[in-house]
């Protein structure tokens, strides 16, 4: 076990998911909760040299005036899943993390996010380069002050408005020319964060519907620097169920006529999605999963997202699926999902931190294709069928375990020689 | 294409599933409907030498006074999915099949089935051997009168009461001693049908919750005679969805606390399941799928089946799943399935006829392990995860296609020599 | 029983509701169906002198090239609730009604309706007066050719775009000045139909989300001429259930935090509602019911309507209601409604024809307040609680029955004198 | 305002409903929660001289070893709706109430309740008279020690096994002869509690599925003594919704073909209902409401109750309603109710305490017919339609308010004379 900690830098460190990550790690360390929800605690990952929860040290960017402890108290009141015992156990860590927060950057964000951003020092300029440089220096300062052996950067900021990336960003050189030309708002905050992280050699996990390192020019940088990255848009709830159910219809040759999903959610996520361009980004990600699996342009699919403030962090989704079977008979399946987004997302964030760190130690660079099952829109992967994505992850884990054991065996073999 | 037809013998030939098979084949031949619902029409099965629909000739056993045309008219009135065009197209075939019906046998059936059985000539004796011999002679007469190249026997009769098979039936010799000793009701009708079919060298497909060829002694006979068989209890609706959704919880490390399924159904199936022992058999099959996938004895699972006459052939099922995620937070998923059982089952019957015939031509014997995805309780297979079962079927199809092409290639290569 | 028939003039005579009315009347007369769905067949209406089904003769306006028989065949294929026996029984009546169809008028209709309107002779001018005069002459010709004792005019046309009525229409004189000034599109087709009908002395039933006789100037005309009218927007499905459930929360002092309704529907109705202005009209009517009952501006309510072509005439609606009880605890109620709009609406149309005719015979004029339970937006009534609305209708029926019996008694008393 | 408090005696004082009552009263007094859920806080009850929450003093019977504070802590952990602030505010009152608890009696209870009853001193004899006398002395001691002006006794104990009351209990004399003859288990605990309370002149509220004062002989006693009583089986959740929705189908002449309700519940209630005879009692109450409203013996109705431990105090119920409309078309309505039983019941208990006290002050005796809307099985009332029941309660409130104002007016008029 390495003696230096693994740094985890959370963009959006005061949000619901980040808060749940921070409290969750402490609750787990204190034995206040079972390990449910952590994929990397499952059997296929045993025997892999994954970072321990004791091993993590946190910092992050935020654009709102909020410290981690207050965020935890607000989340507790709103969503009810954090107990007072958990909060008590997490208080020292929350305070320590608060002391490591830095003002984030705003660039191409939705108006609603602009409205939230009340933290003095939030950067809106003066130039793209200046903003990117500031992120780099924040990350380096975090690593140095915590003596972290390396850092994983995780984007948990709000949804960015939809839109194509600028064509110049297709190569690293092109993207850097956009930075130099200060081409705003074509370059968005998520791209700057990704560029800065990868420039530092830090893996980038993009859990948000935003471009981040999915821009080819930034991905090219990652490959050049030997940095793994993954994203985008965590697959946590309704879309997860969709990606499990849709293959069934294909496998039984049942023609999906209509699939409509209605998502009700509260909290800041819901508010941000009231912005039409942000909603468009999210809906596109959610719908694309289905269209990709069904491979059928006739199927009438649509996704609705509505803001229902009183739901707080709890999402309720209703999906109605009408399909045609033998003798053209129409039948239906409906499902109702009632989940807590932060609770669903937080353990996956921890899983991805561990997997990104493992990938880097294994010398992998570019998109982490084996992490597709975690995302609505996996970078570089066309497969959306969850069970196949998970089989892919399990095969990766098996392979990593075997090569880890080989290495250990070789090392053990050599040792006597060296002894 | 062989010039002789493939015989299909349906036990329960006047029931909803059989009627839908008979009308459906004619509707497809007449181009009155799309091919939805037929798994063997999917891409993985292209290029395989499967029996064509034109190629099938039907007969069967029945215990009620009903001919196939009247059954079709009653089904149309009750469930509404058969159009008058379909009925008109199917009338000649329905009449021809009616002329090939033979009175079935009753042995260890539930009281409700006994009550239905009003056809003169239905056999309740005088001995197990006599009944089995009569089935053999019915099957032989069918093959000979239709000039069928071979026959596939499909059990579509009502659910049989639950219970273990007699221990003596663990071997073929033991089972045959039970027959000779006329051990009733330890030996049930489904066993007699399976024994008779396999004795004739005919594959046996058991689509019903009943022992059939799952009894080891009968399976031994199948292996000795080189006869493939499969079963039991078609996985068509609520259980199918269960076997797709349950693996999701495992893959995300979400602990299922409770999973309760409530099935409402009408028609004769619903009525038969009012019999407590028949219901016990069905519920056990439905629940076992879940318990096997979840591998968790703490999960509180149960299955309800209630008879709602006005639903006719339409089933409505509600499943409520409560699960525990990160920080022990409880969340839920519910689904509502509204399907038509006969419509869901009928194409699978045709698929299994094709696959059983293919397996026999390929020289396979005993349980068709690759057909597990069709059954709630697949013989010889512990895997209940539908996506893995389907991957297994796809691999089988790929292998069969390749060996089929090899054979053709070798034949084509030899041909010039012979020319 | 009067020897002359009662004329019923259907605007939108080729649509799903009108077609179901026409076939339904014949199916009932032929004894092919039970009387389910007819409110005026219930006990409170017994002993009232309501028009019999045998007594009705139909005609109508239509803007599409369609005859009633073809409309019935198309509806049968799409929605499946009309049997071939019903169609056969209705064929003569459908043909007779087809011969009495007249091209409708278009004025202020949505673009989608304009797109449908392919019937030669559909009137778009030359002036409001000209259009209104044509409707009058169509109605008079219908009455005269069928020798009808009177006519009830029912608006079953598509939803009209939302918007206020022009302020000048607040009085009859003002409305007539708008006509003379040819103020288009402030005056819409539904107003012209209502004005024309009432000018002829014929009751007007507005089953559609459109102004019709709800414009005060037209209502004033109705009062002056002694003509009853009612509307608007039939309360048939999801909104009906809402108006039954919402009072429960008030009566138990449970605070509704959120009530979101998601309506999926196919057919022409669904298509017309793809037009944003038409959808706005419909959504406003549906939401107003709830807001009026809850009397709570904090409740977060919204209504979604989505077009799902494969649903045809079947609507599926999901409502999610979150409410707060004792100790501020949040709980929820959801409902799923699966109904067939034409089937739900058609009997209410027959009820309203009977009630409008009764009201006129009783000498009532202006809005039929007792008919509030039939409408989402009842003219002149603030009460939206369905059970109170129905109690009001029952009291009216009781009163009418008593005065009818008094009249009969007086007549019977006088008769001996006259004998 | 009277200076002496109103005593409230809770049978089952350590259960979830009682605990929620006790904490709830303190939370309301401390301003920690809104008044949601209290019916007697609604407008129709303003101006009535109802007991204030400050005015109540609590005691009760219990058969388990539990004090009120521990019960509150356990409820908080299980169901999550009690905050730590509420618990802190309620602690003194919970301790005071604990000091007033007395061991309950067991007689004709289900085996599961017998299993729970671990409190030393719980009375199982020696005779019915002895048990009844002990209850009387407990009640008298409570009144005297708290200096209560009077007491209302509320039965919140577990469901009693179903069964008819003994025919001799049809009169007071007959019932007393049963007591003297020690006829067990014909006489059950709920009857003894009711008899004792009424003997003391204390109103009896039976919130449980059990006979209590619904036995005619005990009701006779109540009338003779001038004591009001009400019951039985609080209408709090799924049945409440049923009693709101069912009248809709009647009012629209829609024939209900099937109505099946599936209730999932955890906690002690769920456990007790695992006992078949207790479940029979509950199911009968729930189903009777529907059958009474629908007045249709053809409708296929049934009710399922299943124990799902992980739901704790939260109930989830799914109802499926199939109905037939115009042209015999089958449609459906489903609802899903997710509520917390204790939270739903507790405010109604407070309402009934206030109403019973009011009734007694108004000189009413026997069944409180106006309280029918609170019960699944209202004593002496055939009306199950919730909106009519509530209208009845509102009329009673209006009448009481008017007579209260008259009295005040007369008193005020007299006062100057006395001044």
DSSP letters spanning B270-336: HHHTTSHHHHHHHHHHHHHHHHHHH--TTSEEEEEEEE-GGGTTEEEEEEEEEEE-GGG-EEEEEEE
Q: What is the pLDDT of residue A416?
A: 52
User: What whole-number distance in Å separates Cα of residue C42 and Cα of residue D253?
Assistant: 7
**D51 domain-assigned:** yes
CB atoms within 10 A of CB C304: 18
* Portion 280-319 of C in contact with A at CB < 8 A: 300, 302, 304, 306, 308-311, 316, 318
Contact A317, A261 (CB under 8 A): yes
- Mean pLDDT in residue range D366-381: 96
Chains adjacent to C (≥3 CB pairs closer than 8 angstroms) = A, B, D
Chain C residues touching residue B84 (CB < 8 angstroms)? 84
How do the residues of chain B divide into helix, strand and coil, expressed in percent and rounded to 5?
50, 20, 30
What values do phi and psi take at A201, rounded to 5?
85, 20
Q: Are residues C128 and C11 in the same domain?
A: yes
Q: Are residues B299 and B367 in the same domain?
A: no
Largest CA-CA distance found in chain C, in angstroms, rounded: 75
Q: Which residue of B has its CA nearest to C80?
A: B80
* DSSP strand pairing (B228-231 vs D6-11): unpaired
Residues sharing a CB contact under 8 Å with residue A257, sequence separation 6 or more, in sequence order: A298, A299, A300, A322, A323, A324, A330, C310
Tokens for D148, please give them.
Answer: 């209560």
The answer to whether B388 contacts chain A (CB < 8 Å) is yes
**D66 domain-assigned:** yes
Question: Could A333 and B332 be called an inter-chain contact, meaning their C-beta atoms sit closer than 8 Å?
Answer: no
Chain D residues touching residue A84 (CB < 8 angstroms)? 84
* Portion 93-112 of C in contact with A at CB < 8 A: none
The answer to whether D80 contacts chain A (CB < 8 Å) is yes
Domain boundary residue among C289, C321, C339? C339
Q: What is the pLDDT of residue D24?
A: 97
**B1 domain-assigned:** no
CATH label of the domain that carries residue A110: 3.40.50.720
Residues facing residue C262 across a β-bridge: C304, C318
Q: Are residues C325 and C190 in the same domain?
A: no
Q: Are residues B176 and B213 in the same domain?
A: yes
Three-state SS at B362: coil
Q: Are residues C255 and C314 in the same domain?
A: yes
Q: Are residues B225 and B259 in the same domain?
A: no
**D288 domain-assigned:** yes
Question: Could A262 and C258 be called an inter-chain contact, meaning their C-beta atoms sit closer than 8 Å?
Answer: no
- Mean pLDDT in residue range A201-205: 98
Q: Are residues A261 and A380 in the same domain?
A: no
Q: Cα–Cα distances in Å, from C330 out to A236, A306, C324, D87, D344?
A: 24, 19, 4, 19, 11
What values do phi and psi take at B76, rounded to 5?
-60, -45
Chain B: closest CA distance from residue A143 (Å): 28
Using the predicted structure, report yes or no on whether residue D297 has a pLDDT greater than 80.
Answer: no
Using the predicted structure, report yes or no on whether residue A419 has a pLDDT greater than 80.
Answer: no
The answer to whether D330 contacts chain B (CB < 8 Å) is yes
Residues sharing a CB contact under 8 Å with residue C78, sequence separation 6 or more, in sequence order: C267, C312, C313
Chain B residues touching residue A257 (CB < 8 angstroms)? none
Question: Which string of b and e fits D276-305 if b means at least 16 CB within 10 Å?
Answer: eebbbbbbebbbbbbeebbeeeebbbbbbb
Question: Could C80 and B80 be called an inter-chain contact, meaning their C-beta atoms sit closer than 8 Å?
Answer: yes
Residues facing residue D315 across a β-bridge: D339
Q: Are residues D198 and D296 in the same domain?
A: no
Among C241, C253, C338, select the one facing D39 at the smallest CB separation: C253
Question: Could C37 and D254 be called an inter-chain contact, meaning their C-beta atoms sit closer than 8 Å?
Answer: yes
Residues sharing a CB contact under 8 Å with residue A154, sequence separation 6 or more, in sequence order: A8, A9, A10, A11, A204, A205, A207, A349, A352, A353
Count CB pairs under 8 A between chains A and C: 59
Residue with token string 């009830």: C152
Residues of chain B with pLDDT under 50: 1, 417-419
The answer to whether C81 contacts chain A (CB < 8 Å) is no
Contact B14, B72 (CB under 8 A): no
User: What whole-number distance in Å separates Cα of residue D262 and Cα of residue B334?
Assistant: 13
Domain boundary residue among B295, B324, B340? B340
Q: What is the pLDDT of residue C1?
A: 47
The answer to whether D264 contacts chain C (CB < 8 Å) is no
**C408 domain-assigned:** no
| CA B91 to chain CA mean position, Å | 25
Q: Are residues A328 and A376 in the same domain?
A: no
DSSP letters spanning A302-348: EEEEEE-GGGTTEEEEEEEEEEE-GGG-EEEEEEEEEEEHHHHHHHH
Q: What angle do CA A278, A282, A288 make, to 5 degrees?
A: 140
CATH label of the domain that carries residue A311: 3.30.360.10
Q: Are residues A144 and A285 in the same domain?
A: no
Chain A residues touching residue D84 (CB < 8 angstroms)? 84
**D270 domain-assigned:** yes
Q: What is the pLDDT of residue D414?
A: 63
CB atoms within 10 A of CB B280: 16
Contact A258, A139 (CB under 8 A): no
Chain B residues touching residue D258 (CB < 8 angstroms)? 264, 308-311
Q: What is the pLDDT of residue D105?
A: 93
Prior bond of D185 cis (ω within 30°): yes
Using the predicted structure, report yes or no on whether residue A383 has a pLDDT greater than 90.
Answer: yes
**A409 domain-assigned:** no
| DSSP code, position A165 | P
Q: Would you give the end-to-end CA distance of chain A in angstroms? A: 21
The answer to whether B334 contacts chain D (CB < 8 Å) is yes
Residues sharing a CB contact under 8 Å with residue A199, sequence separation 6 or more, in sequence order: A132, A136, A221, A225
Domain boundary residue among B294, B309, B340? B340
Side-chain half-sphere exposure of B383, counting CA atoms within 13 A: 15
**In the structure, what pLDDT confidence band is assigned to residue A1 with cuts at 50, 70 and 90?**
very low
Q: Are residues D41 and D21 in the same domain?
A: yes
User: What whole-number distance in Å separates Cα of residue A264 and Cα of residue C306?
Assistant: 16
Least confident range from A133-142, A259-268, A377-386, C151-160: namely A259-268
Number of domains in chain C: 2
CB atoms within 10 A of CB B66: 19
Tell me the pLDDT tens digit for each residue of D76-102. Answer: 888 778 888 999 999 999 999 999 999
* Portion 243-262 of C in contact with D at CB < 8 A: 244-245, 247-248, 250-255
**In the structure, what pLDDT confidence band is assigned to residue A282 with cuts at 50, 70 and 90?**
confident
Chains adjacent to B (≥3 CB pairs closer than 8 angstroms) = A, C, D
Question: Could C80 and B84 be called an inter-chain contact, meaning their C-beta atoms sit closer than 8 Å?
Answer: no
Contact A103, A11 (CB under 8 A): no
Side-chain half-sphere exposure of A393, counting CA atoms within 13 A: 26
Q: Are residues D139 and D78 in the same domain?
A: yes
Query: Which of C182, C190, C181, C175 is closest to C220 using CA atoms?
Result: C175
**B214 domain-assigned:** yes
Range(s) of the domain holding residue C195: 6-234+343-399
Q: Which H or E element spans position C264?
A: strand C255-265
Chain B residues touching residue A82 (CB < 8 angstroms)? 327
User: What whole-number distance in Å separates Cα of residue D59 and Cα of residue D57?
Assistant: 7
The answer to whether B385 contacts chain A (CB < 8 Å) is yes
Mean pLDDT for all residues in chain D: 92
Which pLDDT tens digits describe chain C residue by residue (419 residues)? 457 999 999 999 999 999 999 999 999 999 999 999 999 999 989 989 899 999 999 999 999 999 999 999 999 888 778 888 999 999 999 999 999 999 999 988 887 888 888 888 787 778 999 999 999 999 999 999 999 999 999 999 988 887 888 999 999 999 999 999 999 889 999 999 999 999 999 999 999 999 999 999 999 999 999 999 999 999 999 999 999 999 999 999 999 999 999 999 988 777 777 778 777 877 887 778 888 888 877 888 888 889 999 998 899 999 999 999 999 999 999 999 999 999 999 999 999 999 999 999 999 999 999 999 999 999 999 999 999 999 999 999 999 999 888 888 887 766 554 44
Tell me the pLDDT tens digit for each residue of D276-294. Answer: 877 787 788 777 888 888 8
Handedness of CA C161, C164, C170, C173 (dihedral sign): negative
* DSSP strand pairing (A228-231 vs A366-367): parallel
Mutate to test the interface with D, among C78, C327, C330, C341 (most CBs of D within 10 A): C327
Residue with token string 């009449």: B95
Query: Which of D359, D386, D315, D411 is closest to D51 using CA atoms?
Result: D359
Q: Cα–Cα distances in Å, from D369 out to D37, D192, D224, D343?
A: 21, 22, 17, 24
Prior bond of A116 cis (ω within 30°): no
Using the predicted structure, report yes or no on whether residue D136 has a pLDDT greater than 90.
Answer: yes
User: What whole-number distance in Å separates Cα of residue D302 and Cα of residue B181?
Assistant: 45
């Amino acid at each position: 076990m390495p003696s230096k900690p693994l740094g985890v830098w959370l963009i959006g460190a005061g949000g619901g998911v980040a808060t749940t990550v921070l409290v969750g790690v402490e609750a787990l360390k204190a034995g206040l909760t079972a390990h449910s929800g952590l994929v990397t605690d499952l059997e296929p990952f045993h025997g892999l040299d994954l970072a321990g929860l004791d091993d993590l040290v946190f910092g992050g960017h935020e654009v709102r005036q909020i410290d981690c402890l207050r965020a935890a108290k607000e989340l507790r009141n709103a969503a009810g899943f954090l107990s007072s015992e958990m909060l008590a156990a997490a208080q020292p860590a929350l305070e320590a993390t608060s002391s490591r927060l830095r003002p984030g950057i705003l660039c191409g964000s939705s108006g609603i996010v602009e409205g939230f951003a009340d933290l003095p020092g939030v950067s809106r300029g003066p130039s793209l380069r200046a903003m990117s440089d500031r992120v780099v220096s924040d990350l380096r300062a975090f690593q140095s002050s915590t003596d972290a052996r390396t850092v994983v950067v995780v984007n948990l900021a709000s949804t960015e408005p939809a839109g194509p990336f600028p064509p110049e960003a297709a190569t690293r050189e092109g993207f850097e020319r956009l930075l130099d030309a200060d081409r705003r708002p074509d370059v968005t905050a998520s791209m700057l964060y990704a560029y800065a992280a990868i420039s530092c050699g830090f893996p980038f996990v993009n859990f948000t519907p935003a471009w981040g390192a999915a821009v080819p020019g930034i991905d090219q940088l990652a490959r050049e620097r030997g940095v793994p990255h993954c994203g985008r848009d965590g697959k946590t709830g309704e879309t997860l169920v969709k990606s499990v159910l849709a293959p069934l219809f294909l496998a039984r040759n049942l023609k999906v006529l209509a699939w409509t999903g209605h998502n009700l959610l509260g909290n800041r996520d819901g508010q941000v999605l009231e912005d039409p361009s942000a909603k468009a980004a999210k809906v596109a990600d959610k719908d694309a999963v289905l269209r990709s699996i069904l491979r059928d342009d006739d199927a009438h699919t649509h996704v609705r997202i509505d803001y229902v403030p009183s739901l707080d962090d709890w999402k309720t989704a209703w999906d109605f699926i009408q399909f045609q079977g033998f003798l053209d008979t129409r039948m239906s399946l409906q499902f109702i999902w009632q989940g807590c987004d932060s609770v669903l997302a937080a353990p996956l964030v921890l899983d991805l931190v561990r997997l990104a760190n493992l990938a880097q130690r294994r010398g992998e660079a570019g998109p982490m294709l084996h992490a597709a099952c975690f995302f609505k829109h996996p970078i570089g992967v066309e497969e959306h069928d969850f069970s196949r994505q998970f089989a892919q992850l399990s095969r990766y884990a098996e392979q990593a375990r075997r090569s880890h054991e080989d290495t250990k065996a070789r090392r053990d073999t050599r040792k006597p020689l060296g002894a």
